[in-house]
Amino acid sequence: MRLTRRYSFSASHRLHAGVLSDAENESLFGKCNNPFGHGHNYVLEVSVTGEPDGFAGMVVPRGKLDDFVGRTALDRIDHADLNNDVKELREIVPTTENLSLLVHRWLNSAWDAEFGDDGARLDRVRIEETARNSCEVTG
Amino acid sequence: MRLTRRYSFSASHRLHAGVLSDAENESLFGKCNNPFGHGHNYVLEVSVTGEPDGFAGMVVPRGKLDDFVGRTALDRIDHADLNNDVKELREIVPTTENLSLLVHRWLNSAWDAEFGDDGARLDRVRIEETARNSCEVTG
Amino acid sequence: MRLTRRYSFSASHRLHAGVLSDAENESLFGKCNNPFGHGHNYVLEVSVTGEPDGFAGMVVPRGKLDDFVGRTALDRIDHADLNNDVKELREIVPTTENLSLLVHRWLNSAWDAEFGDDGARLDRVRIEETARNSCEVTG
Amino acid sequence: MRLTRRYSFSASHRLHAGVLSDAENESLFGKCNNPFGHGHNYVLEVSVTGEPDGFAGMVVPRGKLDDFVGRTALDRIDHADLNNDVKELREIVPTTENLSLLVHRWLNSAWDAEFGDDGARLDRVRIEETARNSCEVTG
Amino acid sequence: MRLTRRYSFSASHRLHAGVLSDAENESLFGKCNNPFGHGHNYVLEVSVTGEPDGFAGMVVPRGKLDDFVGRTALDRIDHADLNNDVKELREIVPTTENLSLLVHRWLNSAWDAEFGDDGARLDRVRIEETARNSCEVTG
Amino acid sequence: MRLTRRYSFSASHRLHAGVLSDAENESLFGKCNNPFGHGHNYVLEVSVTGEPDGFAGMVVPRGKLDDFVGRTALDRIDHADLNNDVKELREIVPTTENLSLLVHRWLNSAWDAEFGDDGARLDRVRIEETARNSCEVTG
């Protein structure tokens, strides 16, 4: 059984790879390489597998999960500029792929301390950048 | 190959665990524990795996599946109060998790009698309570 | 210029008119007349007309409007049973029409005390009960 | 009769009023005042009134309108930073209100030269910043 | 007060004006002029103004309106080819504009016989052809 | 890690199996068997698995994938009549199942020549015919 919570956040970013020339960056990233950046209303989905406990019928308490995702991930990226405000993204390009890997790493590394006793496992992190573009990290 | 049909239903419920105190219920379920309940426009997705038959090109006839899901599940929960109208939910908390397990059990236990000869297998039941909260049971 | 804020709330209700017989109620309201009620994820839109002030560029400060709508309307209907929890709806049928009129009345009667100095006028209250059914009160 | 075309664009911005102190800015705009900005997937709707011509049955040719909106508005704001890339927004706060007024002004001032002979009139510009926040300019 | 009901239908069409040359048709309608046609999941919204009656709290009974719209409009265009199945569209181009005018005409001309005694007036017919393209007829 | 791109296309079709009688066709396909066909706004999702490359942070360059899906699939089915314009669907029924299999076959057979060096693998093709009906082919 898999429970999924859906969150949203707004952020700006610029796709620009330091190791590439300006012409290569523009060719590869197109408008996403514009110098002052742009932004998105992102969607973040966090999926958890487990069994509902016998008395409350929940894989994981909603409030506990929301609070954890807020502290561990959303507070760092909501209403932020990904290139400037998120130190892990200063040296790498803030694509949906890299952002998904980062959010998964944040949640995964803090997971056991928080949910180790609940038997609920982090199953998937999915980020939607636009209706046309999304990325999932499983495990 | 997996075919998914999407249905909707409206229902009310109250999250309240009989074995917990009032204070524990309120702390765990928050506003969902309000005494007279509240409700949702739920989404139910039923996924079926199989191969399209050679002449009609369908994993399962649409009308047959819709009729089955209607009789077996939707008729019991649409425009219902889950706590009072669904006898299987009288003793357990009608969370998205427990509701998903129940609908999966209903469909699964009647599946073979209905679709045993079609080669179509029930693959997944997914229920969306709100845009923020959903649950899947696979198998 | 018109600014619109969109909110959501979950509530349960039962459509049943005291002056009608059971058969008339069932004929008129169908499944919405089921004895234990059902529920919806409602959407509430509040539209405000005015001119953006010269320094902050807003028709009305977002936080002030959200706080006002929360206190004046959402707190009374979110995660509530409309028939039992909202005293104004105890004697009338909680249709989308009556609910829209009520929310408009709540907001309108408290509007001037709150926004009289801002030059922002309440323009429209719109409630969506399901994707298929919505109602607007203007003025 | 009113025809509406719906477009989307992605942009970043920061809400900050030069005439206010830092504390006032933070109090008024909250997270939207974060120093490095954030961004959104915006929706732009352009509505046109008129009568369908007798042979093609259109209030205005789709391609002509899309090309006009692209040249006149979207090219200036899509994948842009509103504060830095749009000169009209350098001195005013790029709220949904001010952005809607600006896009309306752009389209309106170039309208007659383009559509004066078609009998189609610009009726409304609507911008959605998020699902929760939108603004319309009519006329 | 305005009540809006939202319906959907699927139809195919080809945009081709008999009085234009093939080259003009292709230039004007682009891919929509492809010889064998294409299709859409259309949305139809019907808006009604009036006051809720005193006992049931509805501007118009839902079932009565749905039945009327089904008989008068949807039955003629759902799962149909607009160019071939709808005789009123055989001589004119089935654009969203012309289709909206036709549906409005159908509903409007039968309205009084059906709703004359209810005090409910037809206010608006809106058709969405795609998420990018919609048309409204008011009155 | 899985990246998903979402595209849309509009097409018409008629569900009719040559080996069945008219009565059987009507019974099996209902309104979808209407003689002149109907149509849909389809959604096509293409999912790719792989690792983001070290410098640009993408599983696969967006532009390259979009161009490939356009040339290989969308150009053949967008604004087309599936029964008449797509030769592979002339002898089989253009259900969501058969269309999904076909698009998957198109993409899969041309994949290695295009993406063999990128390490990105085609993971899933998903087609949504309506909000109620979708189909996925994995592998």
| E61 lies within 8 A of chain F by CB | no
pLDDT digits (tens, 9 = 90+) for E57-112: 999 999 999 999 999 999 999 999 999 999 999 999 999 999 999 999 999 999 99
- If one counts every other C-beta atom within 10 angstroms of the C-beta of residue F36, the result is 16
Chain D environment of A80 (Cβ under 8 Å) = 34, 36, 38
The reply to whether residue C58 touches residue D97, judged by beta carbons under 8 angstroms, is yes
Predicted local confidence at residue B26, as pLDDT = 95
Predicted local confidence at residue A94, as pLDDT = 98
Q: In DSSP terms, which residues pair with B44 in a beta bridge? A: B7, B127
* H helical segments located in chain A: 22-29, 62-69, 75-77, 82-85, 96-115
Q: What percent of chain E has pLDDT over 90?
A: 94
pLDDT digits (tens, 9 = 90+) for D60-114: 999 999 999 999 999 999 999 999 999 999 999 999 999 999 999 999 999 999 9
Question: What is the DSSP-derived secondary structure letter of residue F79?
Answer: T
Chain F environment of A105 (Cβ under 8 Å) = none
Task: Kindly state the average pLDDT of the residues F84-108.
Answer: 97
The reply to whether residue E52 touches residue C28, judged by beta carbons under 8 angstroms, is no
* H helical segments located in B30-130: 62-69, 75-77, 82-85, 96-115
Q: What percent of chain D has pLDDT over 90?
A: 94
E72, two tokens: 């008068």
Residue B114 has pLDDT above 90, yes or no: yes
B118 pLDDT band, cuts 50/70/90, is confident
Do the chains D and C touch each other, judged by at least 3 C-beta pairs below 8 angstroms?
Answer: yes
Please answer whether residues A52 and A59 qualify as being in contact, where contact means their C-beta atoms are separated by less than 8 angstroms. Answer: yes
- Of E16, E104, E114, E129, catalytic: E129
Task: Kindly state the average pLDDT of the residues F31-49.
Answer: 98
Predicted local confidence at residue D59, as pLDDT = 96
The reply to whether residue C57 touches residue D19, judged by beta carbons under 8 angstroms, is no
Please, what is the end-to-end C-alpha distance for chain F in angstroms? Answer: 15
A135 given a catalytic annotation: no
Residue F118 has pLDDT above 90, yes or no: no
C132 pLDDT band, cuts 50/70/90, is very high
Predicted local confidence at residue D118, as pLDDT = 77
Predicted local confidence at residue D63, as pLDDT = 94
Q: What percent of chain F has pLDDT over 70?
A: 100
pLDDT digits (tens, 9 = 90+) for D20-61: 999 999 999 999 999 999 999 999 999 999 999 989 999 999
Do the chains C and A touch each other, judged by at least 3 C-beta pairs below 8 angstroms?
Answer: no
**d(CA B52, nearest CA chain A) in Å:** 27
The reply to whether residue A6 touches residue B136, judged by beta carbons under 8 angstroms, is no
Task: Kindly state the average pLDDT of the residues F89-94.
Answer: 95
Predicted local confidence at residue B112, as pLDDT = 95
Please answer whether residues A38 and D11 qualify as being in contact, where contact means their C-beta atoms are separated by less than 8 angstroms. Answer: yes
C-alpha dihedral sign at F23, F26, F27, F28 = positive
Residue A40 has pLDDT above 80, yes or no: yes
In whole angstroms, give the CA distance from residue C41 to residue B39: 7
Predicted local confidence at residue B116, as pLDDT = 85
Q: Which residues of B are tagged catalytic?
A: 32, 79, 129
Which among E41, E80, E83 is the nearest to F34, CB-wise? E80
Task: Kindly state the average pLDDT of the residues B95-108.
Answer: 98
Pick from C44, C48, C57: nearest CA to C114: C48
Q: In DSSP terms, which residues pair with F5 in a beta bridge? A: A133, F46
A71 pLDDT band, cuts 50/70/90, is very high
Mean pLDDT of chain D: 96
Chain A environment of F119 (Cβ under 8 Å) = none
- Of the two residues E139 and B71, the one the predictor is more confident about is B71
From chain B residues 88-117, the ones with a CB under 8 A of any chain C CB are: none
Question: Coil, strand or helix: which one is F16?
Answer: coil
pLDDT digits (tens, 9 = 90+) for D100-109: 999 999 999 9
Residue type, B106: W
Predicted local confidence at residue E117, as pLDDT = 82
Predicted local confidence at residue C117, as pLDDT = 82
Predicted local confidence at residue F116, as pLDDT = 85
Report pTM: 0.97
Burial of B82 (0-12, 13-18, 19+ CB in 10 A): buried
In whole angstroms, give the CA distance from residue C59 to residue F90: 58
Task: Kindly state the average pLDDT of the residues B62-85.
Answer: 97
* H helical segments located in A30-129: 62-69, 75-77, 82-85, 96-115
DSSP chain D: -EEEEEEEEEEEE----TTS-HHHHHHHHGGGG-TT-EEEEEEEEEEEE----TTT--SS-HHHHHHHHIIIIIHHHTTEEHHHH-GGGSSS---HHHHHHHHHHHHHHHHHHHHTTTT-EEEEEEEEEETTEEEEEE-
Residue E50 has pLDDT above 80, yes or no: yes
B84 pLDDT band, cuts 50/70/90, is very high
Question: Coil, strand or helix: which one is F38?
Answer: strand
A117 pLDDT band, cuts 50/70/90, is confident
Taking CA atoms, C91 is separated from A103, B128, C29, C97, in Å, by 51, 33, 17, 14
